[in-house]
Structure 1
Amino acid sequence: MKFNLNWKHLGLAAGLSFTLVAAGCGSDDEASGDQSDSSGDVNYSEEMDYTITGIEAGAGVVAAAEDAVETYDSLSGWEVATSSSGAMATELGEAVKDEEPIVVTGWTPHWKFAKYDLKYLEDPEGSFGGEEQIKTMVRKGLEEDKPNAYKLLDQFKWEAADMETVMLDINEGSSEQEAAQAWIEDNQDKVSEWTDGVEDVDGVEVELVYVNWDSEIASTNVVAEVMKQKGFDVEITPLENGGMWEAVAQGEVAGMVAAWLPATHEAQLSKHEGEVVDLGANLEGAKIGLVVPKYMEVDSIEDLQPAE
């Protein structure tokens, strides 16, 4: 019995010694990890494979992101992966669900800011420009040919919160027309300002074009539904950025309420200046830039790391 007890004592001592050694090793590793965390040098960039999740090729925000890649040392070796605004939103949603890092090309107004906790990365080099407006552009001759359509489009103005309400409603399952009609019903005061002095018509045809972004889907559907209530026969057609501007400039359609200026559609405006009629801003305070979830510990584009 005594012999067994001594071996038990030896076993306990050996086990205790092993535990202490192991604990000591663990403490060193944890201390090392703590130092890494305290430095704030989390390499999100490597986790994201040095990729910015973009939208359609040719979009102004994509061009600005590509310019940022060339401008910032912190984005050296990065690429902008183009897809669509819908695909970008899907990837963002999946990343947020799993609390994974992601950088997307973003813009305001957009429903994603109402649904997720997001932030713009600071842009000290100004690659994405400053505050933007969304403008209404119509074809030449519209005022003479269809004065009531011209007047309503000229008087269309709303705010970012209005647009985001419609966008979020669509994202949560309403059809585009249902979301537009619901907003119109809840905002008759604004609608009455747009239609002030606009006479009812009987089947006057009007075609509007838009780029297939959530923001422009919302605004174009709302305007179309209001025009239908005034008796217009309205058709709305999604096009790529260049095709949208071309259609208005060539007089093939009545117009659009989707011109982001001065930065996003700068190239298209330069190409078609003098060929379209600028009715001014229908929404102030729009913005583009690189967007990340707030749980990411980065605040500026300069906080990212270049590819090795």
Structure 2
Amino acid sequence: MYLNRKWLMFSITLFFILAVAAGCSSESKNDGSKKNDSDDYGEAVDYTITGIEPGAGITVTTEKALEEYDNLQGWELEQASTAAMAAELDKAMKKKSPIIITGWNPHWTFAKYPDMKYLDDPKGVYGGEEKIKTLARKGLKKDKPEAYKLLDQFHWEVEDMEGIMYDSKESGEKIDKVAKKWVADNPDKVKEWTKGVPDVNGVKVELVSTPWDSERASSSVVKEVMEKKGFDVTVTPVDVAVVFESIAHGDGDATLAAWLPITHKDFYDKFKGKFNDLGENLTGAKIGLVVPEYMDIDSIEDLKPKK
């Protein structure tokens, strides 16, 4: 009996010791999981942020972020193309592997992968909400008042732009074809843009844009609407720096592609006063560093310097 009681007491004591140890281990894991995950994420992505084209607004801003955040010391920004970035994102999401991208919306990736998130940006390098503005050359209102009025009245939503990009991606159709279908399916919005705008006969208008899907969507939609009113519209895709330069110098009539106040701030400030700012055509845009929801990280500051 004495031995049985002694064995029972030993078993109870051992149980509590193991339970406490397990609790401590769990607590330690919970307390340190984000730190360990953050370290692992840096190694897992080879301390590399997957970016897009050199010279793009978000590329320039991310280069600034690498300088502003001390914890990003040793990190690199891989500059390739939007298509290459999206391909890498697809691979990572399918395998549920870590990836950090330069992201923005509107973009079809957010329509396809709604379970993505922006990392908090405590230093405000990427700014808050972005607006996409319409800029027109000086004199457009006088030279082509009908075009100016329509462009001034153009405004749509993030979901509209993302929907066109996503449909194009999924169907394999070019954005301009999807845009034509969108215009046909959204007569109420088109009616708002064309209110008070008389038909014209072949008035030429050149829209200058960047060669990105978001801007392909807006320029294709506006081109379709303007052509239905009798305009002869040309869309010229160029580098973002050339967009602002061409409107400022009067080489193009207008652009729908000015992301402000952060993304294109340097270009906007450089030519400020040399064009007419017609205000935003889309609100609720955003840029920043983006990761899948399955990554246990919330802020840029959670990342660790390269070892």
Q: TM-score, normalised by structure 1?
A: 0.86
From 57, 62, 67, give the equivalent of 1:65. 62
Q: Please give the alpha-carbon distance, in whole angstroms, between the structure 1 residues aligned to 2:103 and 2:190.
A: 28
Letter in 2 for 1:167: M
2:152 is paired with a residue whose SS is helix
Aligned mates of 2:175, 2:213 — CA distance in 1: 10
1:144-163, aligned counterparts within 5 Å?
144-163=142-161
- For 2:75, which of 58, 78, 91 is the aligned residue? 78
Q: Secondary structure at the match of 2:120?
A: coil
Alignment pair present for 1:284 and 2:283: yes
Aligned match of 1:23:
none
- State the alpha-carbon separation in 2 of the partners of residues 275 and 112 from structure 1: 35
**Equivalent residue number for residue 115 of structure 1:** 112
Q: Residues 201 and 231 of structure 2 are in contact (CA less than 8 Å); yes or no, is this contact kept in structure 1?
A: yes
Contact conserved, 2:176 with 2:217, CA < 8 A, in 1?
no
Secondary structure at the aligned position of 1:197 is classed as coil
Deviation at 1:197, TM superposition (A): 0.9
Q: Does 1:125 align with 2:118?
A: no
Kept in 1, the 8 Å contact 2:175–2:213? The answer is no
Larger Rg: 1
Percent of aligned positions that are identical: 55
Displacement after TM superposition at 1:94 (Å): 1.6
Corresponding residue SS for 1:284: strand
Contact conserved, 2:208 with 2:237, CA < 8 A, in 1?
yes
SS in 2 for 1:136: strand
Q: Distance in 2 between matches of 1:33 and 1:80?
A: 36
Q: Distance in 2 between matches of 1:109 and 1:217?
A: 12
Q: Distance in 2 between matches of 1:176 and 1:277?
A: 28
2:175 is aligned with 1:182: no
Tell me, yes or no, if structure 1 residue 39 matches structure 2 residue 32.
Answer: yes
Q: How many Å separate the matches in 1 of 2:99 and 2:237? A: 28
Q: Does 1:165 align with 2:158?
A: no
Q: Which residue of 2 aligns with 1:8?
A: none
Shift of the alpha carbon at 1:307?
Answer: 0.4
Secondary structure of the 1:170 match is: helix
Matched residue type, 1:171: K
Query: Aligned residue pairs: how many?
Result: 278
Question: Are 2:100 and 1:103 aligned?
Answer: yes
Per the alignment, in what secondary structure is the counterpart of residue 296 of structure 1? coil
The C-alpha deviation readout for 1:233-262, integer Å capped at 9, x for no partner, is 111111111011111111111110010011
TM-score w.r.t. length of structure 2: 0.87
Question: CA-atom RMSD, angstroms?
Answer: 1.8
2 CA distance for matches of 1:212 and 1:161? 20
